[in-house]
């Protein structure tokens, strides 16, 4: 058994763990990084990267079939599903060196390719290594949730971890779960030539503004995706190529392949947290505002911390705890400025409070400003006019923004910055956007906040008329 002493021990080489290990090592700390599976974690290998690569393939196929509006003849795309999946793996391979063991060893990080488990409040065992560290950071991420649905154990099914192994195109893909993963993969596969049915026990895209989510669902249904809402799955039956999903209300859905996309579960089972005195909650490891666990020498970041489950949140968490671990300075994680996006077409994004949340929190003082994509010249030129932005404003400052439409995931960046820095709507309105860009949607939304104050205000008109009479 080899004993190691270090400043920082990071368990998990996903987004958060890698960001922390790289930053801490380059600033002079002695860092050990444990990873028993794939470097890069879920995002690189099974989540964000492969899904967006497949969406890009699907977008190319859809573009060929819908080019007539631009004066280019529509053609029926010849989709090679295996080659599309090869594209997915090529994208992963191109990004992988950035997250590789070799790169991090080059940064001075000691990488041990073993799972870690606590054997005491101060020690972690990984293979034949026992590591003691001044601070330990758990960054083990999450895995697909597979609920105990009767019959599921007898039927072949896919998750976001196994979907990328497919080479033959599914004839009819059944997706249980109408959240972001389910809806993104539904649209991607309908565009790649599959039949697709989504079965959701509540409302599809239920975490987002219902008005904006409805625009996305309308678009997917128009493309041929069957979306069954309020269809709680009672049992699953069948064999490979002939799967049946039975809902509690009697509906039966039949297809050739099954994708389970009902959520995520924190990866804690291998950690032996009890040995370290670390408590958990229903969603993950219990942490305080500084992301510290019930063991004061141990932190948890990213999905395993039980909060928002996004790659960029894990990276943000890494930045939060670096301040406290390396410099002993107070640092707290916040959520008000954390955006998220669903990469359907149109895209759907959110930061801060939704309209319903803002009205509940702030009551009658909240103002909701809207601007439609149909009034953006670049959106008109590109035939991307479906969509709108809502900005929830309290006393001149945005407290939340919801966007549905072309590049909504890009547009939300500005509003995240605004919320992070407590900016005013006047500061957003002062921005100058190049013309014509989709980004003008943000500026026009800010301008819409001031329109009634300037153009519908009798006092402003009286002042202007008085000044005009006074000017020689």
Q: What is the pLDDT along the chain (472 residues), one digit of tens a residue?
A: 899 999 999 999 999 999 999 999 999 999 999 999 999 999 999 999 999 999 999 999 999 999 999 999 999 999 999 999 999 999 999 999 999 999 999 999 999 999 999 999 999 999 999 999 999 999 999 999 999 999 999 999 999 999 999 999 999 999 999 999 999 999 999 999 999 999 999 999 999 999 999 999 999 999 999 999 999 999 999 999 999 999 999 999 999 999 999 999 999 999 999 999 999 999 999 999 999 999 999 999 999 999 999 999 999 999 999 999 999 999 999 999 999 999 999 999 999 999 999 999 999 999 999 999 999 999 999 999 999 999 999 999 999 999 999 999 999 999 999 999 999 999 999 999 999 999 999 999 999 999 888 777 788 778 878 888 888 7
Quick check: 109 and 23 in contact, CB under 8 A?
no
DSSP secondary structure letter of residue 49: H
For residue 462, the model assigns a pLDDT of: 82
Give tens-digit pLDDT for 355-403. 999 999 999 999 999 999 999 999 999 999 999 999 999 999 999 999 9
Tell me which H or E stretch contains 135: strand 129-138
Identify which of 322, 363, 177, 316 has the alpha carbon closest to the alpha carbon of residue 260: 177
Q: How far is 191 from 186, CA to CA, in rounded Å?
A: 9
> What region does 115 belong to: left with phi over 0, alpha with psi -120 to 50, or beta?
beta
Domains of the chain: 2-39+100-143+265-327 (3.50.50.60), 152-262 (3.50.50.60), 339-455 (3.30.390.30)
Using alpha carbons only, give the angle 296, 301, 302 rounded to the nearest 5 degrees.
160
List all residues 6 or more positions away from 166 whose beta carbon is below 8 Å from its beta carbon: 81, 85, 158, 257
Tell me which H or E stretch contains 233: strand 233-239
List all residues 6 or more positions away from 428 whose beta carbon is below 8 Å from its beta carbon: 398, 414, 418, 442, 443, 445, 446
End-to-end CA distance of the chain: 92
β-strand partners of 135: 8
- What's the CA dihedral at 186, 190, 195, 199 to 10 degrees? 20
Give tens-digit pLDDT for 406-455. 999 999 999 999 999 999 999 999 999 999 999 999 999 999 999 888 77
Tell me which H or E stretch contains 53: helix 48-65
Q: How far is 408 from 405, CA to CA, in rounded Å?
A: 5
DSSP secondary structure letter of residue 168: S
For 227-256, b where at least 16 C-beta lie within 10 A, e where not — what string? bbeebebeebebeeeebbbbbeeeeebebb
Identify which of 127, 104, 89, 107 has the alpha carbon closest to the alpha carbon of residue 13: 104
For residue 472, the model assigns a pLDDT of: 77
């Amino acid at each position: 058994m080899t004993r190691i002493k270090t400043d920082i021990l990071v368990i998990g080489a996903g987004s958060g763990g890698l960001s922390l290990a790289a930053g801490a090592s380059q600033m002079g700390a002695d860092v050990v990084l444990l990873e028993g599976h794939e470097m890069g974690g879920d995002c690189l290998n099974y989540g964000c990267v492969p899904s967006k690569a497949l969406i890009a393939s699907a977008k190319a196929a859809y573009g060929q079939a819908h080019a007539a509006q631009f004066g280019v003849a529509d053609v029926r795309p010849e989709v090679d599903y295996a080659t599309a999946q090869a594209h997915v793996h090529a994208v992963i391979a191109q990004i992988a060196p950035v997250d590789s063991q070799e790169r991090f060893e080059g940064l001075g990080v000691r990488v041990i390719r073993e799972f870690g488990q606590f054997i005491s409040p101060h020690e972690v065992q990984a293979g034949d290594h026992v590591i003691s560290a001044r601070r330990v950071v758990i960054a083990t991420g999450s895995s697909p949730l597979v609920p105990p649905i009767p019959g599921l154990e007898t039927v072949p099914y896919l998750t976001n971890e196994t979907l990328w192994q497919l080479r033959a195109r599914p004839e009819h893909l059944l997706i249980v779960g109408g959240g972001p993963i389910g809806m993104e993969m539904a649209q991607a596969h309908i565009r790649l030539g599959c039949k697709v049915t989504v079965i959701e026990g509540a409302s599809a895209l239920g975490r987002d503004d219902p008005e904006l989510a409805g625009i996305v669902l309308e678009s997917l249904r128009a493309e041929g995706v069957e979306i069954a809402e309020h269809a709680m799955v009672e049992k699953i039956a069948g064999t490979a190529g002939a799967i049946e999903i039975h809902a509690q209300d009697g509906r039966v859905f039949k297809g050739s392949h099954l994708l389970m996309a009902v959520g995520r579960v924190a990866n804690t089972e291998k950690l032996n947290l009890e040995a370290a005195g670390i408590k958990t909650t229903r969603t993950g490891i219990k942490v305080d505002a500084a992301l510290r666990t019930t063991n004061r020498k141990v932190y948890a970041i990213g999905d395993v911390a039980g909060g928002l489950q996004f790659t960029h949140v894990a990276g943000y968490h890494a930045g939060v705890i670096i301040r406290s671990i390396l410099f002993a300075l107070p640092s707290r994680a916040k959520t008000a400025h954390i955006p998220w996006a669903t990469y359907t077409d149109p895209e759907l994004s959110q930061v801060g409070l939704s309209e319903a949340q803002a009205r509940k929190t702030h009551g009658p003082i909240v103002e909701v400003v809207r601007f439609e994509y149909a009034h953006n010249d670049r959106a008109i030129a590109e035939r991307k006019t479906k969509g709108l932005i809502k900005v929830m404003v309290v006393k001149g400052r945005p407290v939340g923004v919801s966007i549905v439409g072309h590049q909504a995931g890009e547009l939300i960046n500005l509003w995240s910055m605004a919320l992070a820095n407590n900016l005013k709507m006047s500061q957003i309105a002062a921005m100058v956007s190049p013309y014509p860009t989709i980004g003008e949607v943000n500026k026009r939304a800010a301008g819409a906040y001031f329109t009634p104050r300037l153009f519908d205000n009798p006092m402003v008109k009286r002042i202007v008329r008085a000044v005009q009479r006074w000017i020689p």
